[in-house]
Amino acid sequence: MEGELKPMDAEQLREYGHKMVDFIADYYKNIDNFPVLSQVQPGYLRKLLPETAPAHSETLQEVLEDVQTKILPGVTHWQSPDYFAYFPSNSSVAGFLGEMLSAGINMVGFSWITSPAATELEMIVLDWLAKALKLPDEFLSTGQGGGVIQGTASEAVLVVLLAARDKVLRRVGKDAIGKLVVYCSDQTHSALQKACQIGGIHPENFRMLKAVSCRDYALSPDALSEAVSHDLATGLIPFFFCATIGTTSSTAVDPLLALGKITKSNSMWFHVDAAYAGSACICPEFRHYIDGVEEADSFNMNAHKWFLTNFDCSALWVKDRSALIQSLSTNPEYLKNKASQGNLVVDYKDWQIPLGRRFRSLKLWMVLRLYGLEKLQAYIRNHIELARRFEELVAQDQRFEIVTPRKFSLVCFRLRPPQSNEDYANKLNHDLLDAVNSTGKLFISHTVLSNRYILRFAVGAPLTEERHILAAWKVFQDEAATLLSKC
């Protein structure tokens, strides 16, 4: 059997599938034993693998041995309990089972007729999640809007930017594209800048407005209002604004209600990026962070970040699905069918960039059913409590300082320099990050806020417990002591 693997055979799938599940289960069981951040050098793998593909089949055992000895050393272990970098990328048993089922069915659900269950389950499960977030009814599929699963928040912001662009150009004429202006905070994810590059927005018309520390890096409505007024006075056309709930650098929260009123009075598309922090808003005590979302035209959160749903699963809701469809729809003869031609169904191919799409709603559906909202809320609260505990430890050590208030499960902090020299402070914290990550015991990332090099400690891996927080803090203390002894 090993040497005669067929393209698809139910009994072989059963046999090999069991072996692969065992391998993955053992990986999770032993994940603590790996250096969190891969310690290999660039180009390491080319030296270990053949230059050409094998002419004859090899055994699964041979392949898994190579995974163990050659691939895993080059993996940075995002699911490690000691992973505290960037933002989490959650995995779970429920998400894994949903992903497995999706891979097993292996359909390409670009239109309703290609698999009716895929389209209809996606509509239902995103309505469920919208209700859990208490989004306005306009975002539900029962009205003029609805939800769609994109691959990433980068895709989500691109499709709504294109919809907004085409909507305004239909009104003012396509030759006016050089006058269209996009606004955001300087804390907004770079995905918006890339979307503008793809969407033909002139680089000089991309406005990154400064967010300051006295507002905890949230964007001031006055800054947006002044920028829009100035551009209108010079004959430009403000058309798109992106606010963020939980910025990448510091999880700052933009004031949606005040910003939304400015966009509405100027007929601008208002997009809310809650890729990371949106998950927390299923908890009643954190829902207030998206107060004002009723002013938005679109809203996005990544279930694959902090909602126990394996990558990729980025939920996007819009109030007016026709804006997406008018911008992104194509209707070649070979895709025509009775249900689509009769406008009886949703065809998600017209809500996204690619034609093809996977059955991603299965894993989100299974996460919601196998855990339920109460357990998901408890899961998020636990991470926030662990982050609070880490923040408390940092605050108790006079060698360190908290840089900006913690709102969710990200702690922004830094090592104080022996003398008040910002350049030296930045180097010291850069060296501390390198020293900590080089231990292999944990992995963190950094940012820059107000020209200061800041360490980011993001709690959110599914296996993280308090003992991992305490062990991580011990590493910081030890490495800081070593660095300061050299000053």
3-state class (DSSP) for residue 34: coil
pTM for this structure? 0.94
- Residue 290 and residue 274: Cα distance in Å, rounded? 9
Domain range holding 221?
Answer: 98-373
Residue of 259, 362, 311, 387 lying closest to 151 (CA atoms):
311
Q: Does residue 467 lie within any of the structural domains?
A: no
- Quote the tokens at residue 81: 């309990």
Confirm whether 19 is domain-assigned: no
Could you tell me if residue 141 is inside a domain?
yes
Query: 3-state DSSP call for residue 412?
Result: strand
Which letter does DSSP use for residue 220 in this model?
P
Sheet containing strand 269-273, strands side by side: 146-150, 314-318, 298-302, 269-273, 237-244, 180-185, 206-209
Instruction: Please check whether residue 457 lies inside any domain of the structure.
Output: no
Helix runs in 133-198, H state only = 153-172, 191-198
Tell me, yes or no, whether 381 lies in a domain: no
d(CA 209, CA 246): 17
Domain CATH for 258: 3.40.640.10
Structural domain includes residue 453? no
Query: pLDDT tens digits for the chain (487 residues)?
Result: 445 888 989 999 999 999 999 999 999 999 999 999 999 999 999 999 999 999 988 999 999 999 999 999 999 999 999 999 999 999 999 999 999 999 999 999 899 888 999 999 999 999 999 999 999 999 999 999 999 999 999 999 999 999 999 999 999 999 999 999 999 999 999 999 999 999 999 999 999 999 999 999 999 999 999 999 999 999 999 999 999 999 999 999 999 999 999 999 999 999 999 999 999 999 999 999 999 999 999 999 999 999 999 999 999 999 999 999 999 999 898 989 988 888 889 999 999 999 999 999 999 999 999 999 999 999 999 999 999 999 999 999 999 999 999 999 999 999 998 777 888 999 999 999 999 999 999 999 999 999 999 999 999 999 999 999 999 999 999 999 999 988 7
Question: Would you say residue 355 lies in a domain?
Answer: yes
Q: Examine residue 231 and say whether the peptide bond preceding it is cis (omega within 30 degrees of 0).
A: no
- Domain total of the chain: 1
| 180 domain residue, yes or no | yes
Q: Residue 476 to residues 105, 456, 457, 471: CA-CA distances in angstroms?
A: 46, 12, 11, 9
Strands, DSSP E only, in 340-419?
Answer: 400-404, 410-415
Contact indicator for 261, 296 with CB cutoff of 8 Å: no
